[in-house]
Amino acid sequence: MKTEKLLSCEQCYKKNIKRAAEILKNGGIVAMPTETVYGLAASSYDDNAIGKVFAAKGRPQDNPLIVHISNMNMLSQVAKNIPERALLCAEKFWPGPLTMVLPKTEKTAKSVSAGLDTVAVRMPSHKVALDIIEAAELPLAAPSANTSGSPSPTTAKHVENDLDGKIDAIVFSDDCAVGVESTVITFCSNPPRLLRPGAVTAEALKKIIPDLVIDGAVLTEPEKNAKVESPGMKYKHYAPKTEAFLVEGNTKQFAKFVNAKQNAAAICFEEDSSLLKTPKIVYGNSQNESSLAHDVFSALRDIDKHHCERVYIHAPSKSGVGLAVYNRLLRASGFKVIKLPFIIGLTGPTGSGKSSLRAVAENNGFSVIDCDKIARLATVKGSAGLSALVKAFGNDILTTDNALNRKALAQKAFATKENTELLNKTILPFICELIHKEIEGLDRVILDAPTLFESGINSICNKTVAVLAAKETRLKRIMLRDSMDEVSALLRINAGKNDEFYKQNCDYIIYNNGTEKEFTEQFQKIIKEL
Ligand code: AMP
Ligand code: MG
CA of 144 to the centre of ligand 2 (A): 4
Strands in 193-196's sheet, in edge-to-edge order, are 4-7, 169-172, 30-32, 39-43, 140-141, 66-68, 118-122, 98-103, 183-186, 193-196, 213-214
Q: How many Cβ atoms sit within 10 Å of the Cβ of residue 175?
A: 16
Residues in contact with ligand 1 (CB, 6 Å cut-off): 63-66, 101, 113, 116, 118-120, 143-144, 181, 184, 186, 195-196, 229-233
Rounded Cα–Cα distance for residues 294 and 518 (Å): 49
Ligand lying nearest the CA atom of residue 182: 1
Give pLDDT tens digits for 103-139.
999 999 999 999 899 999 999 999 999 999 999 999 9
Is there a contact between 401 and 420 (Cβ–Cβ < 8 Å)?
no
The pTM is what?
0.78
Q: Indicate the Cα dihedral angle 133, 135, 138, 144, nearest 10°.
A: -30
Q: Quick one: which atom of ligand 1 is closest to the CA of 152?
A: 3
Q: Give residue 234's pLDDT band: very low, low, confident or very high (50, 70, 90).
A: low
484 alpha carbon – ligand 1 mean position (Å)? 74
Q: What is the SS3 assignment for 299?
A: helix
Ligand 1 centroid to Cα of residue 196, in Å, is 9
pLDDT over 90 (residue 514): no
- Nearest C-alpha to atom 5 of ligand 1 is from which residue? 143
| Residue type present at position 382 | G
Ligand 1 atom closest to Cα of 37?
Answer: 4
pLDDT at residue 355, rounded to an integer: 84
pLDDT, tens only, 348-375: 999 998 888 888 899 989 999 999 999 9
Ligand 1 atom, smallest distance to 195 CA: 22
Task: Quote the ligand 1 centre to 101 CA distance (angstroms).
Answer: 8
Measure the CA–CA gap between 334 and 340, rounded to whole angstroms.
18
Provide φ and ψ at 82, rounded to 5°: -80, 120
- Cα(386)–Cα(304) distance, integer angstroms: 38
- If you measure from the C-alpha of residue 523 to the centroid of ligand 2, how many angstroms do you get, rounded to a whole number? 48
How big is the chain, counted in residues? 530
CB neighbours (10 Å) of residue 459? 13
| pLDDT (tens digit per residue) in 429-466 | 899 889 988 987 788 999 999 999 999 899 888 899 99
Centre of ligand 1 to C-alpha 68, Å, is 12
Atom of ligand 1 nearest to the CA of 181: 4
Atom of ligand 1 nearest to the CA of 184: 8
Q: How far is the CA of 270 from the centre of ligand 1 (A)?
A: 32
Q: What number does the ligand 1 atom closest to the CA of 120 have?
A: 16
Rounded Cα distance, 143 and 145, in Å: 6
For residue 459, CA distances in Å to 289, 339, 371, 428, 448 come to: 27, 18, 14, 10, 14
Closest CA to 445 of 220, 231, 249: 249
Q: Which residue's CA is the nearest one to ligand 1's atom 22?
A: 230
**Residue 446: DSSP 8-state:** E
Q: How far is the CA of 383 from the centre of ligand 1 (A)?
A: 55
Rounded to 10 degrees, the C-alpha dihedral 79/84/86/92 comes to: 130
The predicted pLDDT at position 223 comes to 78
Q: What is the pLDDT of residues 258-284, one digit of tens each?
A: 998 999 999 999 999 999 999 999 999
Say how many C-beta atoms besides its own lie within 10 A of residue 210's C-beta. Answer: 8
**Atom 10 of ligand 1 has which residue's CA nearest to it?**
232
- 161 alpha carbon to ligand 2 midpoint, in Å? 15
Q: Which ligand is nearest to the CA of 99?
A: 1
Residue whose CA is at the smallest distance from ligand 1 atom 1? 143
Q: Which of 159, 184, 185, 215 to mutate to test the pocket of ligand 1 (most atoms within 8 A of CB)?
A: 184
Q: Tell me whether strands 193-196 and 183-186 are parallel, antiparallel or unpaired.
A: antiparallel
Q: How far is the CA of 63 from the centre of ligand 1 (A)?
A: 6
**Residues 296-336: tens digit of each pLDDT:** 999 999 999 999 999 999 999 999 999 999 999 999 999 99
Mean per-residue pLDDT, 388-394: 96
Choose the residue to mutate in 158, 230, 328 for probing ligand 1, maximizing ligand atoms within 8 Å of C-beta.
230
Query: Relative to the CA of 104, which ligand 1 atom is closest?
Result: 19
Rounded to 5 degrees, φ, ψ at 285 are -105, 135
Q: Cα–Cα distance between 311 and 283 in angstroms, integer?
A: 13
Q: Minimal CA–CA distance to 336: which of 221, 180, 443? A: 221
Dump the DSSP string for 447-485.
EE-TTHHHHTGGGG-SEEEEEE--HHHHHHHHHHHTT--
pLDDT at 431: 94
Cα(426)–Cα(422) distance, integer angstroms = 6
**Ligand 1 nearest atom to the CA of residue 59, by list position:** 3
Distance CA 361, CA 510 (A): 13
pLDDT tens-place string over residues 131-183: 999 999 999 999 999 999 899 999 999 999 999 999 999 999 999 999 999 99
Nearest CA owner, ligand 1 atom 11: 232
The enclosing H or E element of 4 equals strand 4-7
Report the pLDDT value the prediction gives residue 235, as an integer from 0 to 100. Answer: 65
Contact 307, 292 (CB under 8 A): no
